[in-house]
Structure 1
Amino acid sequence: MLDWFVVGAGFAGSVIAERLASQRGDSVLVIDRRSHLGGNAYDRLDASGILIHQYGPHIFHTNSDAIVQYLSNFTEWRPYEHRVLASVDGQLLPIPINRTTINRLYGLSLTTEEDVEAFYAAQAEQVADIATSEDVVVSRVGRDLYEKFFRGYTRKQWGLDPSELDRSVTARVPARTNDDDRYFLDKFQAMPLHGYSRMFDRMLNHPNIAVMLETDYEEIRRSIPARNVIYTGAIDEYFGYCFGRLPYRSLRFEHLTCDCEWYQPVAVVNYPQDKPFTRITEYKHLTGQNHPRTSLTFEYPCDSGDPYYPIPRQDNQELYNRYRQLAEQTENVRFVGRLATYRYYNMDQIVGQALAEFRRIQGEFPPCAEPILQTGTSSP
């Protein structure tokens, strides 16, 4: 009998599987319904030999030394600081909004952080109760910047107006008063030197770990007995959607290769205004690969397809809470990761969550615990 059945070969499942095998000597089976490891972080060489991210750009950044130290067991790093431009009013302008953005957009010559703060204050609208994404932006930088940079992008990304979304959506994107045009400010910013897929291959390359791809959990959960389950898939799917489906926003990716060395000045350009897609990614900026051609991905948000982004609204959170309560009553199954907890996490946060779950496992029972029940015998 297996010690652990891990459902999902993304960051959450792979990190826990590696720890269980290498630190406890437990037997682990990892399954994934896709044909590859790495979940949404999966990268591959396209037909031209250019390394691309199959599911859109994944840029690693963190402030945690422990997480960097852990992942460094499986990869070397290429230093990379992410920069994003937004196509607004015929210009490519830094996002998050900063002093350069303001000066170029409005033809100003603001020189100090105090000047920029005063500009924001003059534009800002008074909002008594900051409850929505619209409230967050207009109360900070005013209506014009909200309309130019945020409203259109948010409507495309979520299929909802910012006034209908929780404030957390735009609270993630700051407005800066200096000229720092880095998208992230974390102390560690880098890309896996040989790509994410190579890192996952090394992470799961352990004699105690077996991997089955193109495998659906529902089809085999009762035929392979295991002492415990780590479930990183969608929590509502695990329980047969008994309370209804949790809403997600999905993405459609259009990959193409151009007969030019470079297409755009940075890895990602956002299109908040007049295009049907939200952004274009050019991967050579991320990977440092030398190639005479260049590969791009256009992203089109949509309602149907793989679940990518939990839609942050109060009624959706209340529905998730019903599933969470059911999960807490389900013996020998641990729900870990974005889909299992219905929350958007950065990659480092998922790694941290998985390592924390492993520490809880270590504290709850010693290795080689006696079997209690078999996989799949808990049901809603």
Structure 2
Amino acid sequence: MLERSPGLARRDRRFHDWLVVGAGFAGAVLAERIANQRNERVLVIDRRDHIAGNAYDHLDEAGVLIHRYGPHIFHTNSEAVFAHLSRFTAWRPYEHRVLAEVVSPTTGRTVRVPMPINLDTINTLYGLHLTEAELEGWFAARAEQVAQVKSSEDVVVGKVGRELYELFFQGYTRKQWALDPSALDKSVTARVPTRTNRDDRYFTDTFQAMPKDGYTAMFARMLDHPNITVRTGMDFETARRRYDFRRLVWTGPVDEYFGHRHGRLPYRSLRFRHETLDREWALPTGTVNHPAEATPFTRVSEYKHLTGQAHPKTSVTYEFPAAEGDPYYPIPRPENQALYKRYEALADAERETWFVGRLATYRYYNMDQVVGQALATFARIEQTVPPAAANDSSAARAAAGD
């Protein structure tokens, strides 16, 4: 459990049926299901000093609730995923809106327009009065013919043409990935739709909400179970030396688990600059993107839009893509997928180990997709792994001095 007590050293020696490496979405969801549904003992570790992974939020020095690793906005079309997380949190309805700060091709002035591109984006940029019906033809007239859509560049120029591609996507993508969109898989820009209506929501999922008390509180409830022990500030090597366990859930980088034996899988990282401002509001929306390549950061976010917190001050975060640091984004290129497949073969051959999450399966997943993957993994565990025999567990626990 999350509580600390003077008896910690003795209890640390207990036998655990499972070791879960990583206290983010993948690890926490599986730990709770295993502890709750299978009544098995789970040790959850994380090398960071907190639970909740990249979704970790906390009060800053001014008392504003911020996300340490940049804004995390929950959205999903999966009723099952939303229902599962609703066991551990109430929700605050929230629909995220993003503006992009760009230079108008017609006036040369800097403007902020809705992103994803929609009817208002085009009318504002070009001083037009197009209707919904007219905009589709306007896009079609500028779209370039692409024989076979392979790259992120192909996706965008094939829909809206080169000028909008260069204005909104090229610089942003080069900063985010340190690669030109022409060198990135089509899945990257395919995540951002283009609309002909005035819908300015960044996401259109059925369920869009923020945990009412924050992500960390939701994770704390998820992990608050008599069968779960949490140790933060602990890495896998330390845990493996210190504890006995039957089975393992790994949510870290898959190449790290195997000692990078085939070489390192490429990831992109982020650096964050958090600022508290002595005013109530700083931005008109939750996030403002800065696509221009000359601007070193990609976006700025203001958390009070997301959380609904009332506070006389406000806090914002600037995001700077980086080559070094914690791995955040698997880089979607064919050669990287080929390398991952070699690690996937090793992972498939591992007995009693499950690889779950964005880093462990080298996929650019959203939070809800990680939850869905974890729930699907638990279903497979239920089908294939016999519950820990009570007499075996009792004997092992007795031997451990519990």
> TM range, normalised to the smaller chain?
over 0.9
What are the superposed Cα offsets for residues 18-57 of structure 1, whole Å, 9 maximum, x if unpaired? 0000111000000000000000000000000000000000
What are the superposed Cα offsets for residues 92-145 of structure 1, whole Å, 9 maximum, x if unpaired? 100000000000001110112x21110100010111121111111001100000
- For residues 170-185 of structure 1, the aligned pairs below 5 Å read 170-185=189-204
Match of 1:169 in 2: 188
Q: Which moved more, 1:236-245 or 1:124-133?
A: 124-133
Q: Does 1:62 align with 2:76?
A: yes
Q: Does 1:144 align with 2:163?
A: yes
Q: Which amino acid counterpart does residue 23 of structure 1 have in structure 2? A: Q
Q: Which amino acid counterpart does residue 375 of structure 2 have in structure 1? A: L
Q: Which moved more, 1:214-223 or 1:68-77?
A: 214-223
Q: Which moved more, 1:360-369 or 1:198-207?
A: 360-369
User: Residue 43 of structure 2 aligns to a residue in which SS?
Assistant: strand
TM-score normalised per structure 1: 0.96
Match of 2:373 in 1: 353
User: Residue 297 of structure 2 aligns to a residue in which SS?
Assistant: coil
Q: Distance in 2 between matches of 1:218 and 1:340?
A: 17
Match of 2:350 in 1: 330
Match of 1:86 in 2: 100
Q: Does 1:277 align with 2:291?
A: no
Equivalenced residue count is 371
Match of 1:368 in 2: 388
C-alpha displacement of 1:159: 0.5
Match of 2:46 in 1: 32
One of 102, 115, 118 as aligned partner of 2:137? 118
C-alpha displacement of 1:366: 2.9
Match of 1:377 in 2: none
User: Residue 341 of structure 2 aligns to a residue in which SS?
Assistant: helix
User: Residue 242 of structure 2 aligns to a residue in which SS?
Assistant: coil
Match of 1:14 in 2: 28
Q: Distance in 2 between matches of 1:310 and 1:362?
A: 29
Q: Which amino acid counterpart does residue 174 of structure 2 have in structure 1? A: R
C-alpha displacement of 1:196: 0.1
Q: Does 1:264 align with 2:278?
A: no
Q: Distance in 2 between matches of 1:225 and 1:5?
A: 9
Q: Distance in 2 between matches of 1:225 and 1:19?
A: 20
Q: Which amino acid counterpart does residue 63 of structure 2 have in structure 1? A: G
What are the superposed Cα offsets for residues 235-269 of structure 1, whole Å, 9 maximum, x if unpaired? 00000000000000000000010111111100100
Match of 2:234 in 1: 215
Q: Which amino acid counterpart does residue 63 of structure 1 have in structure 2? A: N
Q: Distance in 2 between matches of 1:70 and 1:366?
A: 24
Q: Distance in 1 between matches of 2:148 and 2:62?
A: 52
User: Residue 49 of structure 1 aligns to a residue in which SS?
Assistant: coil
Percentage of identical aligned residues: 64
Q: Distance in 2 between matches of 1:339 and 1:218?
A: 18
One of 348, 354, 359 as aligned partner of 1:339? 359
Q: Which amino acid counterpart does residue 47 of structure 1 have in structure 2? A: E
TM-score normalised per structure 2: 0.91
C-alpha displacement of 1:64: 1.2
Q: Distance in 1 between matches of 2:239 and 2:265?
A: 24
C-alpha displacement of 1:359: 0.8
Q: Distance in 1 between matches of 2:78 and 2:182?
A: 34
Q: Does 1:52 align with 2:71?
A: no
Match of 1:77 in 2: 91
Match of 2:12 in 1: none
Q: Distance in 1 between matches of 2:378 and 2:350?
A: 18
Q: Which amino acid counterpart does residue 26 of structure 1 have in structure 2? A: E
Q: Distance in 2 between matches of 1:234 and 1:177?
A: 39
Q: Which is higher, the Rg of structure 1 or of structure 2? A: 2
Q: Which amino acid counterpart does residue 37 of structure 1 have in structure 2? A: I
Q: Which amino acid counterpart does residue 266 of structure 1 have in structure 2? A: T
Match of 2:11 in 1: none
C-alpha displacement of 1:67: 1.1
Q: Distance in 2 between matches of 1:342 and 1:321?
A: 10
Q: Distance in 1 between matches of 2:274 and 2:187?
A: 30
C-alpha displacement of 1:365: 2.6
